[in-house]
Amino acid sequence: MTKITIKDVALRAGVSVKTVSRVINNEVNVRAEMQEKVKKAVNELGFRRNPLARALRNQQTSILSLLYSNPNPGYILEVQNGIQAQCDLDNYNLQILPCDHNDEHFFEKIESLLQRSSTDGVLLIEPLCDMPEVIDLLDKYKLPYALISPATSKPKAPFARSNDEQASYQMTEYLISQGHKDIAFIMGDPSHGDSHQRLKGYQNALAEYNISVDDTFFEQGYFTFESGEISARRLLSLKNRPSAIFASNDYMAAAVLKVAAQKQIKVPQELSIVGYDDTPVSKQIWPALTTVRQPIRDISSHATKKLIAQLNKCSFDEVKTLFECQLVVRESTSVWASD
Residues 178 and 282 in one domain: yes
Task: Give the mean model confidence (pLDDT) for residues 152-158.
Answer: 70
According to the per-residue pLDDT averaged within each range, which of 70-84, 117-131, 134-148, 222-236 is highest? 222-236
Mean pLDDT of 304-331: 85
Q: Which residue has the higher pLDDT, 31 or 301?
A: 301
d(CA 295, CA 318): 19
Domain check: are 216 and 229 in the same one? yes
Find out whether 243 and 272 touch, Cβ atoms under 8 Å.
yes
321, 160 Cβ separation under 8 angstroms: yes
The domain tally of the chain equals: 3
Compute the C-alpha angle 77/70/190, nearest 5°: 140
* Peptide bond just before 127 cis, omega within 30 deg: yes
Q: Residue 142: left (phi > 0), alpha (psi -120 to 50), or beta?
A: left
- Which stretches does DSSP call E strand in the chain? 63-68, 93-98, 121-125, 145-148, 159-162, 183-187, 218-220, 244-247, 272-274, 291-293, 320-323, 326-328
77 plus 99 within the same structural domain? yes
* 254 band by pLDDT with thresholds 50, 70 and 90: very high
In a domain, 173, yes or no: yes
Q: Which of 278, 281, 271 shows the shortest CA–CA distance to 332? A: 271
Nearest to 339 by CA among 257, 234, 273, 243: 243
Please name every residue paired with 274 in a beta bridge, in sequence order, or none if there are none.
246, 290
Q: How far apart are CA 63 and CA 50, in angstroms?
A: 14
Contacts of 210 (CB under 8 A, 6+ apart): none
Q: Is 153 part of a structural domain of the chain?
A: yes
Q: What's the CATH code of the domain at 14? A: 1.10.260.40
Residue type, 89: L
Q: What is the pLDDT of residues 65-105, one digit of tens each?
A: 998 887 678 888 999 999 999 999 888 999 888 888 778 78
Let me know whether 185 and 261 are in one domain: yes
Residues 118 and 203 occupy one common structural domain: no
Give the DSSP per-residue string, 121-164: EEEEETTGGG-HHHHHHHHHTT--EEEES-S-S--SS-EEEE-H
Q: Are residues 246 and 261 in the same domain?
A: yes
What is the Cβ-side half-sphere exposure of residue 269, based on CA atoms within 13 angstroms?
A: 4
- Residue 83 falls within a domain, yes or no? yes
Domain presence at residue 335: no
Q: Is the peptide bond before 287 cis (omega within 30 degrees of 0)?
A: yes
CB-based contacts of 245: which residues, under 8 Å, 6+ apart? 183, 184, 185, 186, 232, 235, 253, 256, 271, 272, 273, 274
232 with 259, same domain: the answer is: yes
**Per the domain annotation, does 338 fall within a domain?**
no
pLDDT of residue 312: 83
Q: Residue 123 and residue 65: Cα distance in Å, rounded? A: 6
Tell me how far apart the alpha carbons of residues 319 and 59 are, in angstroms, rounded to a whole number: 26
263 and 179 together in one domain: yes
The pLDDT value recorded for residue 49 is 60
On the question of pLDDT at 50 being above 70, the answer is: no
Mean pLDDT of the chain: 88
Grouping H, G, I as helix, E, B as strand and the rest as coil, residue 69 is coil
Q: Are residues 87 and 37 in the same domain?
A: no
Whether the predicted pLDDT of 53 surpasses 60: no
User: The dihedral of CA 297, 302, 304, 308: what is its sign?
Assistant: positive
* CATH code, 134: 3.40.50.2300
Q: What pTM does this model have? A: 0.75
Q: Are residues 11 and 125 in the same domain?
A: no
337 found inside a domain: no
Q: What percent of the chain has a predicted confidence (pLDDT) above 70?
A: 89
The answer to whether residues 300 and 156 belong to one domain is: yes
Q: How confident is the model at residue 58 (pLDDT cuts 50, 70, 90)?
A: low
Same domain, 203 and 115: no
**234 vs 188: CA distance, rounded Å:** 16
CB-hemisphere CA count at 13 Å for 298? 10
pLDDT band at 1 (very low <50, low <70, confident <90, very high): very low
Q: Is residue 332 part of a domain?
A: no
> Between these two residues, 107 and 233, which has the higher pLDDT value?
233
The boundaries of the domain holding residue 194 are 164-294
Q: 328 — alpha (psi -120 to 50), left (phi > 0) or beta?
A: beta
Q: Residue 186 domain-assigned?
A: yes
Q: Regarding predicted confidence, which is higher, 49 or 331?
A: 331
Mean pLDDT of the 286-294 span: 97
Q: Is the predicted pLDDT of residue 291 greater than 80, yes or no?
A: yes
